[in-house]
Amino acid sequence: MKNRKYTIGIDFGTDSVRTIVVDSSDGHIVGNAIAQYERWGKGLYCNPSDNQFRQHPLDHIESLKQAIKEVTATLSDEIVNGIAAISVASTGSTPVAVNKEGVPLALLPSFEENPNAMFILWKDHTAVGEAKEINEQAHNRSSIDYTKYSGGEYSSEWFWAKILHTLRIDTDVRETAYSWMEHCDWIPALLTGNTNLETLKRSRCTAGHKAMWHADWNGLPADEFWTQLDPLLSGLRDRLYTDTYTSDHIAGTISAEWSQLLGLPQDVVIGVGSLDAHIGAIGGAIEPYHMVKVIGTSTCDMIVAPKSEIGNKTIHGICGQVDGSILPNMIGLEAGQSAFGDLYAWYRDILMWPANKIIANSQLLDEATKAALLQEMAKEMLSQLSLAASKIEIEESGIIALDWMNGRRTPNSNQNLKGALQGLTLGTTAPNIFRALVEATAFGSKKIIEQFQNEGVRIDGVIAIGGVAQKSEFVMQILADVLDFPIRIIKSEQTCALGAAMVAAVVAGMHSTIKEAQDAMGSGFQKEYYPISQNVEKYKNLYAQYSTLADYIEAQELQEA
């Protein structure tokens, strides 16, 4: 191990932060730790019925400290002293209001309990109305369609919509906020001690995919565009940024404070941050025209293509095309579903409602038994549903589900859309419904594949990473059958953190390119799911029914809008 160099990859997910320490020469993970967000775990600052999802910056600070200290405590001094670089991936768009010093408002007195002063999580959909206004402005009242590199439709999940909504509803935040930062930009700024809004480095990935940054208009959309939309946004562009950086750039060196806090060498370099799915695609062995599906609570579907082949063509209906957002000097293309694993969790929670109400208040059991029983039910619910649903023949139940319980990200973002179930009878069982929900998430994935293909982007293969891909053979076989593609599953369980560790190795100069880091540090594949021909044919019929239901529900929503 002597003279070996190591990197730390950090993945700030929806529920927790995952940290791994990796040998940069061969990708061997020498240590890992996961720290849950304490306040988020208690449901604080969130209101799911209003689609409000917020995270306190202290959750991120505390979990970062906990995870790194926990993992380094298991390592020898030789390994810890050999740590050369850290790179970070996070959810997005997850912006926060900051003061002139770059401090999130929730860390200031009088704002610490204000959800609007916290990070507005990627799946927060409180800004649906503002997104609609941005689209109308871009499509009908602007000489430049600033959405054209964002798939032609701006989403309520993204940067500007969330900012405008917050400025409108919260006077205190509006009067105190000087600027705004994405989560993946704030963490490197925190670690380097450089929160100077004029000099800290901003992620090309999040700027391009979530904030409509593009070289064609010299950065972010013009101030005139925002002033005409709402004077509350006037001047904000000048307090944000112009330059952006790909993830292979150095953000800075760890500050003396954080070096001491974490027990790390003082010369550790910090890479420019990026979005978790994009870094995950690097850890997931992405290559041109091979879609990497990051399958977790939601999905992100990533493709890279040479600039020479994409040219000036704009891809409609996706979540953006950005030069260097995944691999430097390639166009990164993003799509995805607003709910995938979240859909299964929603159904589990519905089925758990009677147990949580009745068992929790029962006088027949002691408190320890009640808690253990409820925990076991919640843990086993989805596996038992999967087992039972796997025994149901395709088309047997007659149920068609629509996977829009959290709106639709792609194709063609519309967060007003709602889910649906069709074909229920008094004979319908819980496993019948669960199978239909799984099929619906697969059908939503097929819509994305078709959108890319219809826009002239070929797909040569499919790679899957993330919790669902690792854990559910039932879901992945249905997905392979519906997509009619073999699906390779990455071996690593921490692919986003591994991708961050790979990028960190490039930042520190241990590998000259990300491709070189992928070849040296990649985990390989653990399994491949192949389409079953007879299932493929049966699913063509169900997919047609899904498409009919989707068209009907969307038409109803448009009539009501």
Does a structural domain hold residue 324? no
Compute how many other C-beta atoms are within 10 angstroms of the C-beta atom of residue 396: 10
Q: pLDDT tens digit string along 346-364? A: 999 999 999 999 999 999 9
Q: pLDDT tens digit string along 109-168? A: 999 999 999 999 999 999 999 999 999 999 999 999 999 999 999 999 999 999 999 999
Between CA 95 and CA 180 the distance in angstroms is 6
Q: pLDDT tens digit string along 251-263? A: 999 999 999 999 9
* 512-517 own/partner pairs: CB under 8 Å, 24+ apart: 513/328, 514/248, 514/282, 514/327, 514/328, 515/327, 517/24
Between CA 277 and CA 286 the distance in angstroms is 11
Question: 560 pLDDT band (50/70/90 cuts)?
Answer: confident
Residues 235 and 383 in one domain: no
Which two three-digit tokens encode residue 233? 């946004």
Between CA 434 and CA 347 the distance in angstroms is 8
Cβ 441 vs Cβ 447: under 8 Å: no
Does a structural domain hold residue 333? no
Does a structural domain hold residue 545? yes
Which two three-digit tokens encode residue 150? 């964002």
Does a structural domain hold residue 291? no
Residues 213 and 346 in one domain: no
Q: Report phi then psi at 203, rounded to 5.
A: -70, 125
Between CA 401 and CA 365 the distance in angstroms is 37
Residues 218 and 95 in one domain: yes
Q: Is the pLDDT of residue 415 over 90?
A: no
Residues 247 and 98 in one domain: yes
Nearby residues of 207 by Cβ (< 8 Å), 6 or more positions away: 182, 213, 220, 241, 244
Mean pLDDT of 47-72: 97
CATH classification of the domain holding 16: 3.30.420.40
What pLDDT shows up at residue 311?
A: 78
Count: domains in the chain: 2
Q: What is the mean pLDDT of the chain?
A: 96
Cβ 351 vs Cβ 366: under 8 Å: no
Residues 345 and 260 in one domain: no
Crossing angle of helices 430-454 and 367-389, rounded to 10°: 60
Cβ 474 vs Cβ 497: under 8 Å: no
Residues 262 and 357 in one domain: no
Does a structural domain hold residue 86? yes
The parent domain of residue 410 ranges over 341-491+531-560
End-to-end CA distance of the chain: 63
Mean pLDDT of 166-173: 98
Between CA 402 and CA 343 the distance in angstroms is 10
Residues 246 and 121 in one domain: yes
- Of 194 and 312, which is predicted with more confidence? 194
Question: 2 pLDDT band (50/70/90 cuts)?
Answer: low
What pLDDT shows up at residue 559?
A: 85
Residues 215 and 361 in one domain: no
Q: Is the pLDDT of residue 45 over 70?
A: yes
What pLDDT shows up at residue 114?
A: 98
Question: 297 pLDDT band (50/70/90 cuts)?
Answer: confident
CA atoms lying within 13 Å on the CB side of residue 230: 17
Residues 171 and 56 in one domain: yes
Residues 509 and 409 in one domain: no
Cβ 538 vs Cβ 281: under 8 Å: no
Percent of the chain with pLDDT over 70: 99
Q: Which of 545, 454, 529 lies closest to 485, judged by CA? A: 529
Residues 500 and 401 in one domain: no
What pLDDT shows up at residue 196?
A: 97
Does a structural domain hold residue 330? no
This prediction has a pTM of 0.92
Does a structural domain hold residue 220? yes
b (16+ CB within 10 A) / e for 125-161:
bbbbebbbebbebbeeebeeebbbbbbbbbbbbbbbb
Read off the amino acid at residue 353.
W
Cis, peptide link before residue 16, omega less than 30° from 0? no
Does a structural domain hold residue 352? yes
3-class SS of residue 195: coil
Between CA 54 and CA 170 the distance in angstroms is 15
Residues 279 and 375 in one domain: no
